[in-house]
């Protein structure tokens, strides 16, 4: 089975002509500069009309020089209100489904994850279109995209996903990179309806805190594992200072069997936090801290932390990989 990083973001700008856009507030500029520098791109690359291509080629270079076989590349939906109307001017980023599907057709290293607000009037139509085009997963950020996944109006959408075998990757836990619209939707209990409809759901970041004041939903997630056999979690961004507390809990055997590997690229990866928590010996942490490839660094650090090898291949049986794209 392939070794897959199932949580990799596509980032694009309006000037590149692929339909993407990015809004960076003054307060977030240092954070985005740090993230770009972390993956080997200068901040001024955002001004380039070829930024999308720069980002894609840089990412392909990281994948091809890593131990991994492929990554799941994530589209990003816009923000809609509860009745499915687009909220103009809301949100920080948009990556169209068509662009991610196109990139996956062009590069075998990319597996396409779509993003659809289930309240959109054309949500089911868009879902069927993306299924025919080869979508392997869907991604949503309920707290940032204003998606109450337990809204009964979305039942048919979740049922169609379950019927098609399309898993849902949903952000859980705090968020401090993107604009948060409904912070209460970070609670994994808001994913109960899709789970009850039979959707395989993956709780991104294992419902961990992203900041000191965020609620800790990791114990909630652990209880939900007992109720829902179709619930999993990814270990993306757990090499960050505030989320790293969750590593030890996620390594417990009863938790580890539900974990899948993701990095949250281009979010920075650091060795010091697992080392400071006593999970990686200092010499090994220093060694991988010097690895220039952030995708490989994250993978190796999680191996060194003690995650079983199945963590890095388990996603193969969760993704919708067997359906050929209709182009």
For range 123-138, the mean pLDDT: 98
Q: pLDDT band for position 313 (50/70/90)?
A: very high
Decide if 327 is inside a domain. Answer: no
- Report the number of distinct structural domains present in the chain: 1
Please write the tens of the pLDDT for every residue from 258-306: 999 999 999 999 999 999 999 999 999 999 999 999 999 999 999 999 9
pLDDT for 213 equals: 86
pLDDT tier, 326 (very low <50, low <70, confident <90, very high otherwise): low
Which structural domain range is residue 235 located in? 4-317
Q: What is the three-class DSSP state of 102?
A: helix
Residue 205 has a pLDDT of 97
Percent of the chain with pLDDT over 70: 98
Residue 156 lies in a domain: yes
Residue 221's domain is classified under what CATH number?
A: 3.20.20.140
Query: Is residue 31's pLDDT more than 90?
Result: no
Mean pLDDT of 109-136: 98
Residue 255: its pLDDT value, please? 98
Q: Is residue 186 part of a domain?
A: yes
List beta partners, residue 94: 21
| 204 found inside a domain | yes
Q: What pTM does this model have?
A: 0.96
For residue 80, what is the DSSP state?
B
Could you give the CA distance from residue 256 to residue 311 in angstroms, rounded to a whole number?
Answer: 7
Mean pLDDT over each residue of the chain, to the nearest integer: 95
pLDDT at 324: 54
pLDDT average, residue stretch 248-262: 97
Nearest to 264 by CA among 289, 301, 290: 301
Mean pLDDT of 124-145: 98
User: Radius of gyration over alpha carbons of the chain, in Å?
Assistant: 18
Over residues 230-240, the pLDDT tens digits come to 999 999 999 98
Is 46 within the bounds of a domain? yes
327 pLDDT exceeds 70? no
Do the domain assignments include residue 19? yes
Residues in the chain: 327
CA distances from 178 to 51, 71, 92, 174, 244 (A): 20, 22, 6, 10, 20
Q: What is the mean pLDDT of residues 142-156?
A: 97
Report yes or no: 55 and 15 within 8 Å, Cβ to Cβ.
Answer: no
Higher per-residue pLDDT: 326 or 248: 248
pLDDT band for position 1 (50/70/90)?
very high
**Where does the pLDDT of residue 325 fall: very low under 50, low under 70, confident under 90, or very high at 90 and above?**
low
- Does 322 reside within a domain? no
Q: What is the mean pLDDT of residues 173-193?
A: 93
The encoded tokens of residue 128 equal 């069927």
Average pLDDT (311-317) is 98
Note whether residue 236 is domain-resident.
yes
């Amino acid at each position: 089975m392939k070794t897959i990083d199932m949580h990799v973001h596509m980032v694009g700008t309006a000037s590149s002509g692929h339909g993407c856009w990015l809004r960076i507030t003054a307060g977030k500029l240092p954070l985005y500069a740090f993230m770009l520098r972390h993956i080997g791109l200068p901040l001024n690359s955002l001004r380039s009309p070829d930024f999308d291509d720069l980002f894609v080629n840089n990412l392909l270079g990281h994948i091809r020089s890593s131990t991994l076989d492929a990554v799941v590349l994530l589209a990003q939906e816009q923000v809609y209100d509860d009745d499915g109307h687009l909220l103009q001017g809301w949100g920080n980023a948009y990556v169209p489904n068509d662009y991610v599907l196109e990139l996956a057709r062009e590069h075998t290293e990319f597996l396409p994850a779509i993003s659809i607000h289930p309240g959109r009037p054309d949500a089911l139509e868009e879902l069927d279109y993306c299924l025919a085009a080869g979508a392997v997963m869907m991604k949503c950020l309920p707290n940032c995209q204003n998606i109450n996944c337990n809204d009964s109006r979305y039942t048919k959408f979740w049922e169609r996903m379950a019927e098609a075998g399309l898993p849902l990757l949903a952000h859980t836990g705090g968020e401090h990179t993107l604009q948060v619209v409904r912070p209460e939707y970070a609670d994994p209990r808001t994913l109960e309806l899709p789970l009850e409809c039979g959707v395989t759901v993956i709780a991104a970041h294992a419902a961990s805190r992203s900041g000191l004041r965020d609620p800790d939903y990791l114990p909630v997630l652990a209880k939900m594992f007992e109720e829902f056999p179709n619930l999993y979690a990814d270990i993306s961004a757990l090499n960050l200072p505030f989320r790293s507390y969750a590593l030890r809990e996620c390594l417990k055997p009863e938790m580890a069997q539900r974990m899948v590997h993701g990095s949250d690229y281009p979010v920075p990866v650091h060795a010091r936090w697992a080392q400071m928590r006593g999970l990686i010996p200092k010499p090994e942490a220093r060694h991988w801290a010097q690895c220039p490839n952030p995708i490989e660094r994250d993978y190796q650090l999680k191996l060194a932390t003690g995650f079983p090898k199945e963590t890095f291949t388990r996603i193969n049986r969760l993704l919708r990989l067997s359906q050929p794209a209709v182009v």
